[in-house]
Amino acid sequence: MSKGGGSVEGLNTRSPTIGELLGGLEELERERNLRFLRNLFKRFYEQEAVFEKVTSIKYREFGFLTLETRTMIRHLSFEDWRDLVKFLCEKVPADCYRSTAYYLNPSAPNMEGKGWLGADLVFDIDADHIQTSCKRRHDRWRCLDCGENGNGSAPENCPKCGSKRIDERAWFCSECLEAAKTETIKLLEFLYSDFGLTDQEISLYFSGHRGYHVHVESEEFKVLDQDARREIVDYITGLGIDPLVHGLGSLTSDEELAKALKFSTWAERLMKNGYDIVLNYGLEDLLRIGVKDKVASSIVENKEKIVELWWRGKFNQMVGVDSRTWEAIFLEAARKSGVLIDTVVTADVHRLIRLEGTLHSKTGLRKVKVLRDLESFDPLKEAVTFKKGEVKVHVYESPEFRVGESTFGPYSEVDIELPISAAVLLVCKGLAYVI
């Protein structure tokens, strides 16, 4: 193993400790939790971990968050897989990361000295970036200055005192994970249909928390710089998509439509989602996306006629519906068609990403490869690592949640014996301590 010093690029050098996540656990409770997690994580890495080997391991940089202080240690490299596993067993990190990039000297303490050789193209889809109704039920926030609090996603500033010191308690549930899965399915369709990638070049993983990672290992993509990767990001997210460029601006027949669909997969996406908008959007929805009042009313009233003309390429011949209206509808269609990825992750050619097969310290779940159909994949079953035994914990407060086939909670200031999988999740989330 080799190592160097330096700061983290793309990751915080220090994350909150379990005690800080709770707003300050008593020291004895904190130590008990740390000992509990350390023993479990150590046993996992010593006995149970079956890792998928990372391609070209000696050319990768590795980084680790320590369990006790959550300090990032990075600029490490390993000659082979056995050295890495030995390190994990000895150090028992909270979280493990590896570079998407390949380096000539991965342990160099700065990027200039590493000798960049290329990087895999990676995508991160996280439910935290997706607006779902369930957040109002299970997410909470509190101002650390005045105590104001509320449900749902945290505001940037406290609405009462204006402070930016907001403590956010974000949870995740089946609805969150389904939303992330939907975006991932959209992403895979782009990669296969638009970029011509194969199953051999794409690896799909549940991240261990709120979403999915997609890794692309391809010689064609490996050499792309940040600007080229940003172009890919813009294309997949639908940023700047112009329906005119894709042949939808002046259609007059089904022949012209067929030609547009043949040469552009984006044209097909815009048509499908545009059709859905016309069919399902009400007056308020159309006004929200910029359609004028009278025109919106006309669309709602003549919905059946527009739908009839849609796939004949004559939808834009409706009297009273101008080109600006269709532009607004297709812009909304582009928004619905685009994928909600973490754009920074994909564009970053020096990114560290969670190491395949390792544990996520915020859940105790594992980053696992999706080997079968994504539609039927259930992360709350297939990523569960600790399954044997029960643990008695004190739960401060938690929403209702599911692990495996069982549902637990909600809980508030209660001592309870739970299956170890549920107890680990609550402890990792900072919502409980081991008794």
Torsion of CA 169, 175, 179, 185, to 10 degrees: 130
Selected catalytic residue, list 95, 120, 124, 348: 124
Note if 225 is an active site residue.
Answer: no
Selected catalytic residue, list 120, 139, 342, 348: 342
> Position 6: which residue type?
G
Note if 373 is an active site residue.
Answer: no
pLDDT for res 14:
41
Secondary structure E strands in 4-148 = 62-65, 72-77, 95-99, 101-103, 116-119, 121-126, 140-143
Selected catalytic residue, list 95, 120, 126, 348: 126
Structure tokens, 211: 């979403």
Torsion of CA 17, 21, 25, 30, to 10 degrees: -40
Query: Who's near 154: CB < 8 A, 6+ residues apart?
Result: 139, 141, 166, 167, 168
Structure tokens, 426: 């609550």
Q: What is the pLDDT along the chain (435 residues), one digit of tens a residue?
A: 654 433 343 343 344 544 455 445 588 999 999 999 999 999 999 986 667 889 999 999 999 999 998 999 999 999 999 999 999 999 999 999 999 999 999 999 999 999 999 999 999 999 998 999 999 999 999 999 999 999 998 999 999 999 999 998 889 999 999 999 999 999 999 999 999 999 999 999 999 999 999 999 999 999 999 999 999 999 999 999 998 888 887 788 889 999 999 999 999 999 999 999 999 999 999 999 999 999 999 999 999 999 999 999 888 787 788 889 999 999 999 999 999 999 999 999 999 999 999 999 999 999 999 988 999 999 999 999 999 999 999 999 999 999 999 999 999 999 999 999 999 999 999 999 999
pLDDT for res 25:
58
Classify residue 359 by its DSSP letter. Answer: B
Tell which residue, 240, 125, 269, has the closest CA to residue 183.
125
- Tell me the C-alpha distance between 74 and 11, whole Å: 10
- Tell me the C-alpha distance between 370 and 357, whole Å: 11
pLDDT for res 315:
83
pLDDT for res 50:
64
- Tell me the C-alpha distance between 424 and 35, whole Å: 12
Classify residue 263 by its DSSP letter. Answer: H
